[in-house]
A and B are shown apart, each in its own frame.
Chain A
């Protein structure tokens, strides 16, 4: 049992930590959530359906993130503003690298500022690439509900004035309309929309 438990933690740790990190935008909080999730996994190991372990873990992580957001003091909200910029900057071009880093960072903060379930769904779907089936299992919603929340969440992000202003000043005139629907193309490149699979 212990070996199976360790294997499960190794398999899902990255997913849980990433979800917590992009939801909370603070490394320590994300670590707390990760610990909390895996302690609960150990406590409920005998009871849970191991066929749906990933969804169960995401649901526990989602609830833990909500608890952390409630507890979080406003003063702590932006402490981790400039953390992890270096580790995020691996895939950017040399030209406009700093701008892209800044845009990425602002986008992370904007995601963090979203209410639930918009935030969780955007992190699960767009950041982590989970399938709609996994998300609806995790959050107990139908696929159509998940899509509605996803699109509304994205529109909320696009309504962020700082992001839009920064985009207009730096990227708006440079890029051309790309006829490929980039989201679906990228997802089809991964294994059925799951970065972790």
Chain B
């Protein structure tokens, strides 16, 4: 190893590819080559890199056989993406069927698919919107079922219904009072009272008014 240090060799060897690509400035190139003349190890590394790059750049560009492209051209000629259209199975070829349409006038190419889609849409709409034969039975069952369910529900007399309405009105009154009491304006600010306090006050007042009503309190 000559007088150059290992770190210098390291940095010079990092520049080999830049030198080979012509990316170094003139002064850098001169320093690079002067180091190469002094250091045999770096010169060997440079020769290796140079030989390798020369060899790679001399690789010939290759071309594939025309046969490789033949199926692709057939595919393109057929105008289909799957490639199966060019295959003939037992004398049947899809190309023979579609070729008249592809070569025909534009309106003929699109009229048949449009007609087919229209027919399909009509058939689907008929099958969807025409009621089935068992529909009335289902409707009858649907109309009968609520009556049976209502018959199974518990029956209430007028007094019970009146009591329930009174309880409901009482509950509404509680809620209205809560709404009034929670908003207490103090100066410019609203003070929100705790909800539980409001509820308790409502219950106490209701209890003093009518003991029975508190027992049926819906809240």
Of the listed stretches A59-67, A74-82, A171-179, name the one at the interface; the rest are far from the partner chain.
Answer: A171-179
Cβ-defined contact, B62 with A182, below 8 A: no
Q: Across the interface, do A164 and B57 meet the contact criterion of CB distance under 8 Å?
A: no
Q: In the assembled complex, which residues on chain B have CB atoms less than 8 Å from the CB atom of A184? A: 20-23
A interface footprint on B195-210 (CB within 8 Å = 1, 0 otherwise): 0000000000000000
Q: Are B81 and A43 in contact, CB atoms less than 8 angstroms apart?
A: yes
Inter-chain contact total with CB atoms closer than 8 Å: 142
Report B23-52 CB contacts with A as 1/0, cut-off 8 Å.
110000100010011000001111111111
* Cβ 8 A contact of A181, one of B20, B59, B73: B20
> Which of B64-72, B115-123, B172-180, B184-192 lies at the interface with chain A?
B64-72
* Cβ contact within 8 Å between B21 and A22: no
Q: How large is the interface on A (under 10, 10 to 19, 20 to 34, 35 or more residues)?
A: 35 or more
Check if A141 is an interface residue, CB within 8 A of chain B: no
Alpha-carbon distance between A31 and B69 when the two chains are bound, in angstroms: 9
Chain B residues in 8 Å Cβ range of A186: 54, 57
Q: Once the chains are docked, how many angstroms separate the CA of A53 from the CA of B199?
A: 78
By the criterion CB–CB under 8 Å, are B64 and A17 in contact? yes
Binding site for A on B (CB under 8 A): 17-24, 29, 33, 36-37, 43-65, 68-69, 71-73, 75-77, 81, 83
- Cβ of A167 and Cβ of B51 under 8 Å apart? yes
Chain A's closest residue to B36 (CB) is A177
**A34–B23 alpha-carbon span in the complex (Å):** 34
A43 CB, min distance to chain B CBs, angstroms: 6
Q: Is A68 interfacial (CB-CB < 8 Å)?
A: no
CA distance A183 to B20 in the complex (A): 5
CA distance A142 to B20 in the complex (A): 20
| Distance in angstroms between the alpha carbons of A18 and B94 in the assembled complex | 35
Whether B72 pairs with A38 at a CB distance below 8 angstroms is yes
Please name the residue on chain B nearest to A22 by beta carbon. Answer: B59
Least CB distance, A164 to chain B, in whole angstroms? 7
Chain B residues with CB under 8 A of A100: 55
Q: A175-B47, A182-B50 are in contact. Are A18 and B17 (CB under 8 A)?
A: no
Determine whether A139 belongs to the interface, using a CB cutoff of 8 Å to chain B.
Answer: no
